[in-house]
Structures are given as structure tokens and as C-alpha cells.
Structure 1
Amino acid sequence: MDHAFAVDKLTSFLSLVGGYLYEVELASKDIGAEWPDWPEKLVVQEAVARQIVNAYSPGLGDVDREDGENEATYWYRVRTAAAQALGMASSAEEVAAFLRPASPAIAADSLHPWVWEPAAPLWAAEARQDAVLAAARTLNRRLQQKLERHDIGETDLCMQAFDVKEAQPGKPRLRFPGDRNMATWRARQEGAKYFAAGAFLAIRNVAAHEEAVDWSRQDALEHLAALSVIARWIEECTTEQAPSPNQ
């Protein structure tokens, strides 16, 4: 619903009604004065105002003339209904925000320390792109250290690290805890593989190679949260080496 449109139309309508009722009040004090005619605009705008009023509160705008009711009383009742609708339109967004269920917030300093500690000083300096890049680079180094691999890029390393295939010489794997015969264990491994690789491709590479990215604070915080998830997975997993040839 276009609340600004409603506010504009109802404000204009109430101004006309107020002007008309003021003339009525002056005429009522002058015994010889004639009762003022309805302004044409008032009649036209009443039809629009009635629809708007009913949009905010069905039936509120259906003000009918009662038997024996004078014009002033009728327009007072119309004005009251329009004023109520104006109040609804003016505060609609604030009320909607108030009534919206409370949502949780991400506390940046509660992100995994591999992510937040390198990002924090850059974030404080409003260098959001650099903060995300620093977090991604630190995360990559942690992954390299855990697997003792420095020979390939982070995307390939993630794909190999979480792969469900058996570890090979020089290619250790990261393994989540749990029953490896369960489909959910395999799904978690595969999901982590593609999620981690995708994050480095879509977040780290953009931060590293774009001169300036148009990330809002929320965008950058969500990128850090994604990296934090990967950090927790890496820390949770055990490293599995290829069996010795003598075994």
C-alpha cells in the first residue's frame, strides 16, 4: 500500500473539509448569512477519500447521511473518519516495524576468532572490503596449516579437503564426526566442500580482485558470517591422512 499517496490525498481532503466547516461556522453566527455551498472539489475528493479510508479500515469510510442530519454534522463525521485513516497511514510503517516479530542479531565479536580477529581493526576503520579479505586470507592459512598443504589455491584445497574420497599421499582430508555410513554424514561433507569452495570464489575473490565493491555493512557482515561457518567446520573436523604403505 502506498502510504505516502494516502497521506497526501487525505491531508488535502481534510483541508477542504476544514475550510468548508469553517464557513459553515461563520454562517451559523450570522443570522442573515446564507449557508455555504459545497465546494466541488470537496465532493470529488470525498469519493477518493472514502476508498482510502476503507482500505485502512473496511467500513470506516462508509459514512451515510442520517435522516434529519444537517450538512455540518455529516461532514464532521466524514472528517473524523478521514482523520482516523490519516493517522493509520502516517504511522503505518512505524506500527508495522513495532509489530514485526523480534529478530536475532549477529554479534560480530561472536564470529569465529579466525574470522573476526583479523577483520576487527579494518572493520573499525570502515574498510569493510579489506576486513572481509583479511578474514578470508586468515581462514585459508588456517586450512593450509591444518592440512599441511601450501601447494594449491584455496578453492581447490576446499574441494579436496572435504571430498568423500579416501585420503591420498599428500592429500589429507577433513572429516566431520559421526557415522560415515549415514547419508547425512556424506551430505554434510559434500555440502561443506561446495559451500567452502563457493565462498572463496564468490567472496574472497571478489574482495581481492575488485577495486571497490559496493557492500553495505549488512552485506559485509553476512560474508563474514559465511566465513565463520567454514572456520567452525574446519576446527570441528579431524584431519585424515593416507594410510602408510606398510599398513
Structure 2
Amino acid sequence: MDRAWMREQLEAFDNLAARYRQSTRPGDFSGDAQLGDQLYKAEPTIKQILKKLDPALAESVDVGKVAGAATARRQVQRALGILENMDEWAKHLEPDAPVLSADQLHPWVWEPAAPLWAAEAWQDAVLSAARVVNRRLQHLIDRHDIGESELLLQTFDLKEPAPGKPRLRFPGDRSTPTWRAQQEGAKFFGAGIFLAIRNVAAHEEAVAWTEHEALEQLASLSVLCRWIASCDVERVTQ
């Protein structure tokens, strides 16, 4: 989250709401019309920010109701308090565990997923990422006759390259069991991702993935992409 931007938006809204309240007259709950329009325009963004910090904060924000600006100011002040103390909470209250940053996933995965993720469309984000990984791999080895699980099975196969059938090869000593295990592991791991993740995301109307579970699916795709990036493409030489 961009905390600086969130704080800027909240403080601007709080200032605007304060000015609107000051413009109201005794017995008349309507204030300056121009300020009211600005409040309405800013309200959706403020609600999204409040939801990220504490979903309960956004529920009572409605500038169209009587005293709505005052209520919104109270919730915004609470949100600013949360932002101010988040670093301290993370330091003193969160368990000591590593955090997976989505924007550090492989670009083939996060770039297509990011806009859908922002819309909280977890399933669509995973599906979009899987489709892009498939297209990228097809382009990398110049194979558009097959795709997805079959593409991974053939691309990492231990067989020698054949005409029209390049292979991906990890670096290292190919005579060792470890190298063979890596090739075979990537082969079946990649195929499994498309069978058990991509196909489910594509063919189920609604997958009951939580946000974190969907992030784990993206991380699996990212691991595969890192492996692909580390490999050499081998083709039949003329």
C-alpha cells in the first residue's frame, strides 16, 4: 500500500469536510454546494482507502446524510490514526514471519495480474497471469501448435530436441541425478500448474480462493517463470 498517498487523500478529505461543516448555518444542514460536490467526488476513493485499513470504517461514511460530513471526519481521523501506527503495530504485534510482496513476483505473472488484483478479482488475476505465462513460453520457443500443460511436458522433456520441438535445459552437469530431477520436476510442476490452477480458474464459475490463497497460486506461476528464465533454449541445429 502507498501509505503516503493514502494519508494525503485522507487529510485532503478531512480538510474539505471541515470547511463544509463550517459553511453550514444554524438549523440548515446543507453547506456550500461546491464543497459538497467535491466531497461527493472524493467519497468513493476515501471509502476504498478506509476498506483497506478497516472495512468497518467505510460503512458509516455517507456525505449525503444529515451530519454525514461530521461522521466521515471521525472515520477519516481513525484511519489516519491507523496509518500513523501501522509501522509500530507491524513491529510489535505481527508474528515474525517473512512477507511475500506481489510486486516482486516475476513480471510475466504480476504485470497481467495487477489491475485485476486491484479490483479484488483474485480468480481472474490468476487466470490472466497463467494465460500470459503460456503465451510467453510459446513465443520463447516458437511453438504455437500446443500450449499449457502439454507445452510444459514437451518443453522440459529429457528427449533431445527435434525439428519444431525445442527444449528448455537447466544449466549444470547433465550427467547428475540432481540435474535430471530438476528437469523432471519442472516438467511436471509446470504441467500441474496449468491442470490444477489455470484450468480450475478458467472453468469454475467462482473459485473460493481467499486473497492469500490466490497469491500462493501466483507465486507458483512465478517460480515456474524463474525456472524458465534460467534455462537455455536448445533447438535442432542444421
Is the structural similarity TM-score above 0.5?
A: yes
Q: Classify the secondary structure of the residue corresponding to 1:178.
A: coil
Instruction: Tell me, yes or no, if structure 1 residue 114 matches structure 2 residue 75.
Output: no
- CA drift of 1:100 comes to 8.8
- Identify which of 98, 114, 119 aligns with 1:125: 119
TM-score by length of 2: 0.60
Distance 1:205 1:150 in 2: 19
Distance 2:128 2:169 in 1: 26
Larger CA Rg, structure 1 vs 2: 1
Question: Which residue of the partner structure matches residue 172 of structure 1?
Answer: 166
Distance 1:147 1:140 in 2: 11
Distance 1:193 1:153 in 2: 13
Q: Kindly indicate whether the alpha-carbon contact (under 8 Å) linking 2:138 and 2:147 is maintained by their aligned counterparts in 1.
A: no
Distance 1:100 1:218 in 2: 16
Instruction: Tell me, yes or no, if structure 1 residue 241 matches structure 2 residue 200.
Output: no
Q: Where do 1:28-177 residues align within 5 Å? A: 102-177=96-171
Runs of 4+ in structure 1 deviating by more than 2 angstroms, as ranges, are 98-101
- Identify which of 181, 185, 189 aligns with 1:187: 181
CA-atom RMSD in angstroms: 1.4
Distance 1:149 1:99 in 2: 51
Letter in 1 for 2:135: R
Instruction: Tell me, yes or no, if structure 1 residue 228 matches structure 2 residue 222.
Output: yes
Distance 2:192 2:206 in 1: 20
- CA drift of 1:236 comes to 1.1
- CA drift of 1:159 comes to 0.2
Q: Classify the secondary structure of the residue corresponding to 2:178.
A: helix
Aligned residues: 147
Question: Which residue of the partner structure matches residue 205 of structure 2?
Answer: 211
Distance 1:100 1:127 in 2: 27
Q: Classify the secondary structure of the residue corresponding to 1:139.
A: helix
Q: Classify the secondary structure of the residue corresponding to 2:233.
A: strand
Distance 1:166 1:211 in 2: 40
Name structure 2 gaps, 5 residues minimum: 1-91
Distance 1:237 1:146 in 2: 11
Distance 1:132 1:164 in 2: 29
Name structure 1 gaps, 5 residues minimum: 1-97
Post-superposition Cα deviations, 1:169-206, rounded to whole Å, max 9, x if no partner, equal 11110001111111101100000000000001000001
Distance 1:210 1:225 in 2: 21
Post-superposition Cα deviations, 1:136-177, rounded to whole Å, max 9, x if no partner, equal 000001100111000013110000000111111111100011
Q: Classify the secondary structure of the residue corresponding to 2:137.
A: helix
Distance 1:183 1:100 in 2: 42
Distance 1:100 1:194 in 2: 36
